[in-house]
Amino acid sequence: MGMLSLGVASGAAEEARLNAADIVIALPSTGGCEVEMRLEVETSTALAIDHRLRLDEGARLETFAVSGAQAGSTRTIGRTVSLPLSFAIPGRHPYTLRYRVIETEDSADRCPIWLPAAPTEGIRRAVRLLVTLPSDVRRLPGGFPAFEWATPAGGVVALNHLPAFVRVPRTAAGTPVSWRETVDVGRLLDAAAIFCIAASTTIWVARRRRAS
């Protein structure tokens, strides 16, 4: 009987593509996160797709579980955890990856995302991320990506690619915060950029009028 050969797709876009991703991220009041990733990849051959999780300094991967794919042995490359997942036949493959990460105080507002070495098509917003917060947590301004918060406890965003991490600044409800922590620096920078563009346009128009 012949043996099935599985190659490792570390960046072969022609062999594997990420069709969809539905990710639920539970953020506790303290640093860390619990993540459930429901993914679908499409492969043109039998292969193993590398999945990489970039951890922050001092953070650790506490647990993980895979269903719907054959998991190989993990290996650590610096602060990155590499996990090959094998698919024995070509076609579409739905699978689930669950894991828990413990963060340090310095990176308590971040949660890393396990990235498969399979790009999206880059057009459709086929990547959906949902972040949930417990009732005893207060969300602070800022964060990445730009979640839409229909309720204080849940934010959602649809993207055309998988981000390497999400960031949601937060603190325990009732904890005093400084005025700096209540300011969304990103929005301030956006507003400043828009103001500068508008001002420079106004000056340019005024100079053109005087010249004519």
Q: What is the pLDDT of residues 79-131, one digit of tens each?
A: 999 999 999 999 999 999 999 999 998 888 999 999 999 999 888 899 999 99
Strands 33-43 and 70-71: unpaired
151-189 residues labelled b (16+ CB within 10 A) or e (exposed)? eeeebebeeeebbebbebbbbeeeeeeeeeeeeeeeeee
- Of the two residues 13 and 105, the one the predictor is more confident about is 105
Residue 17 confidence (pLDDT) above 90: yes
pLDDT > 90: what percent of the chain?
A: 57
Q: Compute the distance between CA of residue 173 and CA of residue 8 in angstroms, rounded to an integer.
A: 46
* Partners of residue 25 on adjacent β-strands: 35, 131
Burial of 99 (0-12, 13-18, 19+ CB in 10 A): buried
pLDDT of residue 196: 53
Q: Compute the distance between CA of residue 117 and CA of residue 113 in angstroms, rounded to an integer.
A: 13
Q: Please choose, from the candidates 11, 17, 51, the residue with its C-alpha nearest in 3D space to the C-alpha of residue 123.
A: 17
pLDDT of residue 85: 97
Q: Compute the distance between CA of residue 114 and CA of residue 69 in angstroms, rounded to an integer.
A: 15
Which of 7-11, 29-33, 55-59 is most confident? 55-59
Q: Taking the model in full, what pTM does it have?
A: 0.75
Q: What angle do CA 129, 132, 135 make, to 5 degrees?
A: 165
Residue 194 confidence (pLDDT) above 60: no
Count the neighbouring beta carbons within 10 Å of the beta carbon of residue 89.
9
Count the neighbouring beta carbons within 10 Å of the beta carbon of residue 123.
7
Q: Compute the distance between CA of residue 104 and CA of residue 59 in angstroms, rounded to an integer.
A: 6
Residue 11 confidence (pLDDT) above 50: no
pLDDT (tens digit, 9 = 90+) per residue, 123-169?
889 999 999 988 877 788 888 999 998 887 889 999 999 999 999 98
Residue 30 confidence (pLDDT) above 90: no
pLDDT-derived band at 41, boundaries 50, 70, 90: very high
Q: Compute the distance between CA of residue 10 and CA of residue 83 in angstroms, rounded to an integer.
A: 11
Tokens of 154: 């849940």
Structural domain 7-173, CATH architecture: Sandwich (2.60)
